[in-house]
Amino acid sequence: MNNQEIILDVKNLNTSFISDRKQVDIVKSVSFQVKRGTTLSVVGESGCGKSVTMNSIMRFLGSNARVSADNIQYNALRDGEITEYHLETYKKSNGPEMRALRGPDMSMVFQDPMSSLNPVYKVGDQVAEGLIQHTGMGKKEAREKVLELFRKLGIPDPESRIDCYPHQFSGGMKQRVVIAIAMICNPELIICDEPTTALDVTIQAQIMELLKDLQVNEGKSIVLITHNMGLVAEMADEVCVMYMGRVVEFGSLEDVFDHTSHPYTKALLRSVPVLGLADGQILETIPGITPNPADIKGGCDFADRCPDCTERCRQGVIPAFEIAKGHRVRCLKYDSFPEVNG
Ligand SMILES: Nc1ncnc2c1ncn2[C@@H]1O[C@H](COP(=O)(O)OP(=O)(O)OP(=O)(O)O)[C@@H](O)[C@H]1O
Ligand SMILES: [Mg+2]
């Protein structure tokens, strides 16, 4: 696949945190690609490193983080031309290179709308700020652009809403404002970190519809982090399953849902509540607990919880195997297939 087709190419990303002089490895050899104009869903249980992975890419982490990667390549497509950016070479999150890309090229929607909005500024000014900064546009023109975007995002009565403060908005409306901040400079890649967990289900459905619309009708590329496998089924073209800081399975929605291969993905999908469980059928949970990232032994991180674990699984680093084109699984059950970058 060429740079036109791939918008983000992450190879061998590692992130550690230093605390109390100890280094804890959180993201380990993570590799994935986002195809232009598609949605990639990143799933995995709480604490597996989904947010740290995205924050490493966006350079949002603090000074106790150590991030390294062979490649974090963003391929910008402007007027039919590709420009490559190597984000792994940018040292500072607030440095000029990253600041220039954040907003007009790639942006992030965070989980909690309240912590992303400043309570003392009018919502309209918060949305306009990025546009004024990046384009030098005048206030009046920027206000028109914000109104246009509010209308598109389904914020009712935008002319009066634009001058409200965040506390005057409901949770769903606040999240729309956060999405507006991410969208105002018209980025091609939007990373959404659980954008709807703080919202009730009807609002969640509306926000998801909005994101789907942006992807389908405007060709945006979306990375959607979520716990909700139902949303993944509705939204994703490709799925990246993480466990303990590693990608354990990656493939198309069909690969991961219909040809589920990693024992962890199987367990994750079995533990999804479905309507109409048969009489006597109970929802499964994944046995055991997630290990603490600080005391990891060698071998497969899922070994202690895996029904198929053998002695071999407890040694060394488990590679990923490509079991079908684009479908890779980090499990020794598949070691007859070619080994690939994880
Ligand atoms: N700044 C930090 N310093 C030290 N450890 C951190 C820091 N940020 C995150 N971690 C640790 O990294 C691990 C992964 O966290 P992360 O937030 O990426 O999980 P997640 O997969 O996004 O979980 P959730 O689904 O709950 O959002 C956790 O063990 C967390 O405690
Ligand atoms: Mg998270």
- Domain of 108, CATH number, reads 3.40.50.300
Residues 94 and 197 in one domain: yes
Cβ neighbours for 32, distance < 8 A, ≥ 6 positions apart: 10, 40, 240, 247, 250
Residues 322 and 200 in one domain: no
Higher pLDDT, 246 or 80: 246
Cβ atoms 139, 120 nearer than 8 A:
no
Ligand 1 centroid distance, CA of 153 (Å): 30
Pocket probe for ligand 1: among 42, 46, 52, the residue whose CB has the most ligand atoms within 8 Å is: 52
Q: Is residue 246 part of a domain?
A: no
Q: Is residue 228 part of a domain?
A: yes
- The pLDDT value recorded for residue 203 is 77
Q: Is residue 297 part of a domain?
A: yes
Residues 156 and 197 in one domain: yes
Residues 143 and 25 in one domain: yes
DSSP 69: -
- The pLDDT value recorded for residue 106 is 93
Q: Is residue 255 part of a domain?
A: no
Residues 118 and 46 in one domain: yes
Chain mean pLDDT for the chain: 90
Question: For residue range 215-248, what is the model confidence (pLDDT) as tens digits?
Answer: 999 999 999 999 888 889 999 999 999 999 999 9
Q: How many domains does the chain have?
A: 2
Residues 291 and 187 in one domain: no
Burial of 139 (0-12, 13-18, 19+ CB in 10 A): exposed
Question: For residue range 170-193, what is the model confidence (pLDDT) as tens digits?
Answer: 888 898 899 999 999 999 999 999
Q: Is residue 59 part of a domain?
A: yes
- The pLDDT value recorded for residue 273 is 63
Ligand 1 centroid distance, CA of 27 (Å): 10
Question: For residue range 243-297, what is the model confidence (pLDDT) as tens digits?
Answer: 999 999 999 999 999 999 999 999 999 887 655 556 666 666 777 777 777 766 7
Whether 140 has a pLDDT exceeding 60, the answer reads: yes
Nearest ligand to the CA atom of 67: 1
Residues 27 and 113 in one domain: yes
**Domain C-terminal end among 211, 236, 261:** 236
Question: For residue range 37-50, what is the model confidence (pLDDT) as tens digits?
Answer: 999 999 998 899 99
Burial of 42 (0-12, 13-18, 19+ CB in 10 A): buried
Q: Is residue 258 part of a domain?
A: no
Whether 66 has a pLDDT exceeding 80, the answer reads: yes
Q: Is residue 261 part of a domain?
A: no
Nearest ligand to the CA atom of 44: 1
Residues 194 and 313 in one domain: no
Ligand 1 centroid distance, CA of 239 (Å): 20
Index of the ligand 1 atom closest to the CA of residue 292: 29
Enter the pTM of the model.
0.92
Residue 324, domain extent: 269-340
Residues 224 and 313 in one domain: no
**Domain C-terminal end among 216, 236, 256:** 236
**Domain C-terminal end among 214, 236, 258:** 236
- The pLDDT value recorded for residue 283 is 60
Determine how many CB atoms are found less than 10 A away from the CB of residue 27. 28
Cβ atoms 196, 230 nearer than 8 A:
no
Residues 158 and 278 in one domain: no
Q: Is residue 247 part of a domain?
A: no
Residues 216 and 277 in one domain: no
Report phi then psi at 109, rounded to 5: -110, 125
- The pLDDT value recorded for residue 200 is 76
Residues 212 and 322 in one domain: no
Task: Give the pLDDT mean for 116-139.
Answer: 93
